[in-house]
Chains A and B, each alone.
Chain A
Amino acid sequence: MNLHFGIALQPPAPVAADPTPDARVAYLFRHTQPGTCDLLRQAIVALRTVNPP
C-alpha cells in the first residue's frame, strides 16, 4: 500500500489491456484472494519468469 500526502492508496486494479506478463497474470487472478489458488498462481509466476508467453 502506498502513502500519498497521508492518504493510503490501494494498489491499482489490474487492467486487461496491459500486455506485460506480470500484469497479465495479475489480471487473470484478479478474482482470487490469498488462500485461494495460491499454489497455481505461484506456479504460473514461476513459469512466466523463465518462459514468457
Chain B
Amino acid sequence: MTPPVAVAVAVDVRAIRDLPSLPVIVLELLSTMDAEATTVQTLAYKISQDQALAAKTLRLANSSFYGRPSAVVRIEQAIAMIGFRTIRSLVIAASLTTAFSRPAGGNFDFDCFWQHAIGTAVCARHIAAVFNISPDSAFIAGLLHDIGQLVLATHFAASSDAARLWRDEHDCSTVEAEQETAGMDHAGVGEALAAHWRFPAAIRDAIAHHHDAVAGLPLVVRLADAIAHALDLAGDPLAAVPVIDDGLWSQLAIAPGRLVNMLRDIEVEHREIAKVLLQ
C-alpha cells in the first residue's frame, strides 16, 4: 500500500516555545504536589480568584458523584467535603482542559482527547495505591500523559493529521504512526513540553514513558491508559488497547472480582467528572 504521506513531516520540538503559558494557578498547585505547604484557605482563595474555575469546582462538588444532601455553595465547603488533595487535582484538571485553544480546521478531536485524558486520570488514581504512588500525582500524570498529542494538533496540525491518517489506514498505534510520518512521537514532544513548563520530574517521566514503562508512576499511567482504552471511555471508534505483557499486569495485584467493581466505579466517576470539566 502506498503510504498516505510520501514525505515525512519534520517537527521542530523547539517550536513548543511558542506555546501559551500555563495558568499561574496550575504552576502553583503543581509545585505543591509533594508538599503540604498550601493550606485550605490558600487553596480556596486561589480558586476564588478565577470565577470560571470556582464555578466548575462548585459544580463538581454538587455533581451526583460527589454530591451531598446539602448544596455546596462555598469553595471551603467543597474542600472540606471532597478533600483537599482531590480538589487540588480537579482544579488543575479544570484549568488545563481550557488552557489550549482549539484552532479552526484540522481533524483533531479535542473532546475525544480530553475524554481519554480524564479517563486515564481517573484510572490512574484508582490503581495508584497498589503501587504505593500518590493518587494525586497519578491523576495529574494520567491527565497529562498524551499532552504531546495536543501540542502536535495545535501547533503542527498537518503532521498530526498525517499521523492520524496513517494510524487509521494501517491500524497501528498512534506512536507508530507518528514515528512513520514525522520521525518523532507525542511522548517525546510531551516530555519536552513538560520540561519547558517545569513540571515535577515524576510527571515528566510518566509523560515520557507512558508507552514503555515497567515500574513506578510511569507504569501506573501506562496501565491506566490501557484500562481507559479498554473501557472505551474516549468514544474513539478506532481505539485499540495497547499491548502490555501480562507480567506487568500481574503487578496490579487486585482480585478479579474487585477489579471488575473498580472498572464499574471508574466508568461512573469518569462520566461525572468529564461532564463538568468539558461543559
The verdict on A33 contacting B230 (CB below 8 Å), with A39-B252, A43-B263, A46-B256 known, is: no
Nearest to A50 among chain B residues (CB) is B260
A interface bracket (residues with beta carbon within 8 Å of B): 20 to 34
Q: Which of B217-250 contact A (CB under 8 A)?
A: 226-227, 229-232, 237-246, 249-250
Contact B246 A44 (CB under 8 A): no
The verdict on A47 contacting B264 (CB below 8 Å), with A30-B240, A31-B243, A33-B243 known, is: yes
Contact with B along A1-42 (1 / 0, CB 8 A): 000000000000000100000001101111111011111111
A53 to B240, CA, bound (A): 17
Contact A37 B243 (CB under 8 A): yes
Contact B256 A36 (CB under 8 A): no
Interface size for B (C-beta < 8 A) is 27
Contact B229 A16 (CB under 8 A): no
Chain B residues positioned under 8 Å from A27 (CB to CB): 240
Query: Is B195 an interface residue when CB atoms closer than 8 A count as contact?
Result: no
Chain B residues positioned under 8 Å from A33 (CB to CB): 243
Chain B residues positioned under 8 Å from A51 (CB to CB): 264, 267
- Name the contact of B229 in the complex, choosing from A28, A36, A47 (C-beta under 8 A): A28
Contact A29 B249 (CB under 8 A): no
Query: Is B259 an interface residue when CB atoms closer than 8 A count as contact?
Result: yes
Q: How far is the CB of B176 from chain A (nearest CB, A)?
A: 10
Contact B260 A29 (CB under 8 A): no
Q: How far is the CB of A41 from chain B (nearest CB, A)?
A: 7
- Name the contact of A53 in the complex, choosing from B171, B232, B241, B242 (C-beta under 8 A): B232
Q: How far is the CB of A30 from chain B (nearest CB, A)?
A: 6
Nearest to A16 among chain B residues (CB) is B237
Contact A38 B246 (CB under 8 A): yes
Contact A36 B246 (CB under 8 A): yes
Query: Is B173 an interface residue when CB atoms closer than 8 A count as contact?
Result: yes
Q: How far is the CB of A26 from chain B (nearest CB, A)?
A: 11
Nearest to B250 among chain A residues (CB) is A39
The verdict on A44 contacting B263 (CB below 8 Å), with A28-B229, A39-B252 known, is: yes
Nearest to B261 among chain A residues (CB) is A47
Chain A residues positioned under 8 Å from B245 (CB to CB): 35-36
6 contacting pairs across A/B (C-beta < 8 A): A16-B238, A28-B241, A29-B240, A31-B242, A37-B246, A39-B249
Closest 10 CB pairs between A and B? Answer: A39-B249, A43-B259, A36-B243, A46-B260, A31-B240, A47-B263, A44-B230, A47-B260, A16-B237, A29-B241
Q: 18 extra interchain contacts, Cβ-Cβ under 8 A, other than A46-B256, A50-B260?
A: A25-B230, A27-B240, A28-B229, A28-B230, A30-B171, A30-B240, A31-B173, A33-B243, A36-B244, A37-B244, A37-B249, A38-B249, A39-B249, A39-B259, A40-B249, A41-B230, A42-B256, A47-B264
